[in-house]
A and B are shown apart, each in its own frame.
Chain A
C-alpha cells in the first residue's frame, strides 16, 4: 500500500533478528512530505481495503445462501 503512493521513493522492511518480534520499516519520500504521512495514508488505505473486502465478502455470502435456498425450494 505504501509502495502505491507516488510520493514514496523507497520503502522496505527487514526483520532484525528472527527471535525478536521487531521489524525495521523504512520509508523515504521525494523530499516533499514528512515520511510519516505515507505511512499514515498507507494504513488508512489498508483499513479501507479491508472494510470493502469485508462488506463485499459478506454480501456475496448472503447472495450465495439466498440462491441456494431458492434452488432447494
Chain B
C-alpha cells in the first residue's frame, strides 16, 4: 500500500526538495510501472482532460489545462510565441526624413508597432516578390511636418505650446488601400492597435514622409510578428502538511508562503495551520530556511495541471490565439501524414 502510494507520488507529483527538484521527467510509459496500463487510450484521455477558464480581462486570458502531458502543453506555448502569424511593417520606403531619428532606427520602431489587421484575411508574400499584391500587403503612410506656432506666448518654453506636430504618434499612420482592397474589406479599419505610441520627436522644419508595407509573418522569423505579449504556464502547486502545526510555528509557517495560502484556524483555543489555497503560492521555498518547519511540509507540483496565462498584444483576442495555435499543431501533423503517404517506403 505504501509502495503504491510512493509510485503514485512519483508519477503524479514533481517534488521540490531543499536542494533540488525530484521526479521531474514524465515516466508513465508502457512497461515502466508493473500494474499500471500506460498505453495511449484516447477515451481515458478524454474522460480525464478538462479546460477551466479562470479569468479574462484586458487581453489577458488565464485558464487551466488538466490531464495533458508536458510536451504538448509546451508545444502550445511555443507555437503561441513563435508560429501564430500576424501582420507587421516589413518594408519602409523613406521619401523624406529630416528628423533626428535615423532612417533605420525609425524603420525598426515602425516594425515593432502592432497593427490591428486579422492575419487570417491575408496570404504570405511569395519569396522574391518585391512589389507586393493586394492579397498579401497592407500599405500605410506616415506624413507629418513640424511647424512653429505663431500664436505662442513670447516667454513660454513648453513645446506643446510652441510647436505643432512635434510628437509623432502611431495615430498619424494612415491606411492607403492597394488595388481592390476597398472592395475586399469594405468596413475594415486597418490601423495600429494603440494610438499613443510615440514614434519620433520633431522640431520646426523637420518632416517625416514614409510609406510602409505590412506583410504576414511568424515570430520565428522576427519577434515583431509574435502575437502575444507573453504566453506562459506554471504547474499547480500542491502543499501538504505532514504533521499538524500549531501556535507560533503556525504563524511562522503562514509568513513563509504567499498571502492567502496558509490560513490559521482557532480549534479549541489553539491556533492550527491549514492549507487554504495552494494555487496562489509562488514557491519561494522560504520554509526550508526554518529548521523546525522544513521537515513538516512537502512542497510539490501536480504534474499534469497547467495554469496558462496568455496576454495578447491586441491584434487578436487571446482565446482566438490559443485556438489558432492548436490548429497550427494539427496542421503540422497533417503535413507529416501527407508526406508519409506520398513518399514510397521500401
Do the beta carbons of A57 and B340 come within 8 Å of each other?
A: no
Size range of the chain A interface in the assembly: 20 to 34
Complex CA gap A1/B327 in Å reads 18
B82 CB to closest chain A CB (Å) equals 13
Complex CA gap A34/B345 in Å reads 10
Give the B interface residue count (CB, 8 A): 32
Q: Which of these binds chain A: B11-19, B49-57, B240-248, B283-291?
A: B49-57
Complex CA gap A4/B63 in Å reads 27
Q: How many A-B residue pairs have CB under 8 A?
A: 80
Any chain B CB within 8 A of the CB of A40? Answer: yes
Do the beta carbons of B51 and A60 come within 8 Å of each other?
A: yes
Among A22-69, those with CB < 8 Å from B are 34, 36, 39-40, 43-54, 56-61, 63-64
Q: Which of these binds chain A: B101-109, B158-166, B255-263, B328-336?
A: B328-336
Do the beta carbons of A6 and B30 come within 8 Å of each other?
A: yes
B208 CB to closest chain A CB (Å) equals 38
Identify A53's interface contact among B40, B52, B65, CB under 8 A: B65
Contacts of B49 in A (CB 8 A): 52-53, 56
Complex CA gap A45/B46 in Å reads 12
Contacts of A15 in B (CB 8 A): none
Contacts of B65 in A (CB 8 A): 53
Identify A3's interface contact among B29, B46, B53, B333, CB under 8 A: B29
Any chain A CB within 8 A of the CB of B295? Answer: no
Any chain A CB within 8 A of the CB of B337? Answer: yes
User: Which of B49, B65, B319, B327 has the most chain A CB atoms closer than 10 A to its own CB?
Assistant: B319
Contacts of A53 in B (CB 8 A): 49, 51, 65, 68, 72, 326
Any chain A CB within 8 A of the CB of B266? Answer: no
B83 CB to closest chain A CB (Å) equals 13
- The chain B residues found within 8 Å of chain A, CB to CB, are 29-31, 38-40, 42, 45-46, 49-53, 56, 63, 65, 68, 72, 319, 322-323, 326-327, 329-330, 333-334, 336-337, 340, 345
- The chain A residues found within 8 Å of chain B, CB to CB, are 1, 3-6, 34, 36, 39-40, 43-54, 56-61, 63-64
